[in-house]
């Protein structure tokens, strides 16, 4: 399985979720209002004067689905800015 950690501006969340739906991803987690520094400068979630906010989207999927996500995400990330980390992972069933 593959784990995706995607950091983008909040304004791109709808586009990202549409992309994930096209890739048939059925589950992901969104962390809103995260901070950091990157290509677009500092994003401080405590700064009330700067409306720019980042989000982190985390998902895990099987290899074949991961390739669909990568195909869709490759071009989109150029427009989104931010970053995408992909790593191997193992799923464990609940219980």
> Computed from CA positions of residues 50, 30, 39, 76, in that sequence, does the dihedral angle turn out positive or negative?
negative
pTM of the model: 0.83
DSSP bridge pairs for 83: 7
pLDDT tens-digit readout, 2-60: 999 999 988 999 999 999 999 999 899 999 888 776 666 666 666 655 666 889 999 99
| Domain residue extents for the chain | 1-6+63-90
């Amino acid at each position: 399985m593959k784990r995706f950690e995607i950091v983008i501006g909040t304004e791109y969340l709808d586009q990202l979720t549409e992309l994930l739906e096209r890739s048939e991803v059925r589950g992901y987690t969104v962390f809103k209002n995260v901070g950091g520094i990157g290509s677009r400068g500092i994003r401080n979630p405590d700064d009330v004067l700067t409306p720019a906010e980042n989000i982190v989207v985390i998902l895990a999927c099987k290899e074949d689905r991961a390739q669909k996500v990568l195909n869709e995400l490759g071009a989109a990330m150029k427009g989104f800015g931010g970053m995408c980390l992909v790593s191997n992972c193992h799923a464990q069933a609940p219980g």
